Amino acid sequence: MKQPFTIQVEQAIIDDLKNRIAATRWTDELPNDKWEYGTNKQYLQELCDYWQNGFDWKKQEDRLNTFAHFTAGIDGHTIHFIHQPGEGTKNVPLLLIHGFPDSFVRFLKIIPLLTKADENGMSFDLVIPSIPGYGFSAIPPEPGMNPKKIAGLFAQLMTEELGYKKFVAHGGDWGTSITENLALYHEDLLSAIHLTDVPYTHLFDVPKDELGKAEKKYLEKGQRWQQAEGAYAMIQSTKPQTLGYGLNDSPAGLASWITDKFNAWSDNHGDIENCFSKDELLTNLTIYWATGTINSAIRIYYEAMKATVNAMYNPLVKLNPLDKTGKKSTVPAAFALFPHDLVNAPKEYAERYFNVLQWTEMPEGGHFAAMEQPGLLAKDIRNFVFNGRLHSTDNGYPRRQVLNEKLNSNN
């Protein structure tokens, strides 16, 4: 049963954080104005100085607590989530799933845009969980917390705990992989899915049939990106524990590791604060620090890679008729692609794995779409669910009236 939850970080944790920042042993740096070597030292020192001397966690904590937070025990795991009701006369349940290196705060800006009723009284009931091992969700005590497992927990949260018969799911980054697994293994519960990228694991799942020109270009770009920018993922996929000790012990180290990704993956035109304020960056960082969850958060890379390798090479998994790894989902899907995301797939590649009914290429924005361009993202979700974008006559895809029946089944 869900229980109300209030974010309340002990002052001793904040005091210890500030003491550790003050004791940081800063490294040297070669010329690095464009962050070519990684996180820029001057900016990191500026950010950490503000974290120590100016950042008001209590103010941010109070702001976070204006939303409706809960926890629930799901299959032995404590899951934290926001459950924000819609303001309309007809509210569609929408599960929003974050990724790394962010948290549930990815979606704070988009909450009022989706819970507000439109001219027809339509809005969304929002459920925004913290992935197990992230933030205020409990750290998994055993191996195996991969996207498929998480999808099962979130399916139980939405149906058995919150009572929804059908729902829509949206995700980016790991949220995309989890949403894909919801669509593959829990399709009877889903009305539709909305994504901002094709799960990166499909870069390793090259189709055997002939690839089109755009698909070949995409895979080549993905391979180049992996070589130039993907070292963090390889470390987190192979030896996360080795990395976790340092990140969990040093606020400056944690800030460097995470801030580098916010800078590199956002559409910031050379200045990270064109997209994120220091308060936004530090609110996310403080959640990681105060909960001590950076190690369990990065472990999802290891668990996901292990599951992917098993599906590719383990004959017991490959021959299992119940395993749907690499299969195409039949759930109606929409994609909103933002130009400064990591590596955007072409539509024809996405269609190998998803039942794509809506495809939007945005004019601006990056990996953290809900934080960078909440208006564009909210509009795209609304268009897909409310404005007829789910109607199609091609390939036997569900017509809009069928989808309306699915949405109405909650009432």
- pLDDT computed for residue 12 by the predictor: 98
3-state secondary structure at position 250: coil
Query: What mean pLDDT do residues 194-216 have?
Result: 85
Mean pLDDT of 212-229: 93
Whether 170 and 179 have beta carbons less than 8 Å apart is answered as yes
pLDDT of residue 388: 63
Alpha-carbon distance 338 to 361, whole Å?
A: 6
| Band of pLDDT at residue 399, cut at 50, 70 and 90 | very low
pLDDT at 48 over 60: yes
Helix/strand/coil for 348: helix
What's the average model confidence in pLDDT over 269-289?
98
Q: What is the mean pLDDT of residues 63-84?
A: 98
Backbone φ, ψ for residue 99 (5° rounding): -140, -150
DSSP assignment of 266-298 equals S--TT-GGGT--HHHHHHHHHHHHHHT-HHHHH
> What is the residue-averaged pLDDT of the chain?
93
Percentage of residues in the chain having pLDDT higher than 70? 93
pLDDT band at 1 (very low <50, low <70, confident <90, very high): confident
Q: Using an 8 Å Cβ cutoff, are 242 and 252 in contact?
A: no
pLDDT of residue 318: 67
Indicate if the pLDDT at residue 209 is higher than 80.
no
Per-residue pLDDT band for 396 (boundaries 50, 70, 90) equals very low
Q: What is the pLDDT of residues 311-329, one digit of tens each?
A: 777 777 766 877 888 789 9
pLDDT at res. 390: 63
pLDDT at 401 over 70: no
d(CA 78, CA 28): 42
Please tell me the predicted confidence (pLDDT) of residue 357. 97
- Residue for token digits 């890679």? 305
Task: Give yes or no for residue 391 having a pLDDT over 50.
Answer: no
- Residue 218: the pLDDT is 93
Of 4 and 408, which is predicted with more confidence?
A: 4
Q: How many angstroms separate the CA atoms of 128 and 111, rounded?
A: 10
Is 403 or 24 the better-scoring residue by pLDDT?
24
- Is 60 exceeded by the pLDDT of residue 216? yes
3 state DSSP class of 122: strand
pLDDT tens, 231-243?
Answer: 999 999 999 999 9
Question: In this prediction, what percent of the chain has a pLDDT beyond 90?
Answer: 86
In the predicted structure, residue 393 carries a pLDDT above the cut 70: no
pLDDT score at 327: 86
Enter the pTM of the model: 0.94
Work out the average pLDDT over 34-50.
98
Point out the residues that are catalytic. Answer: 173, 301, 367
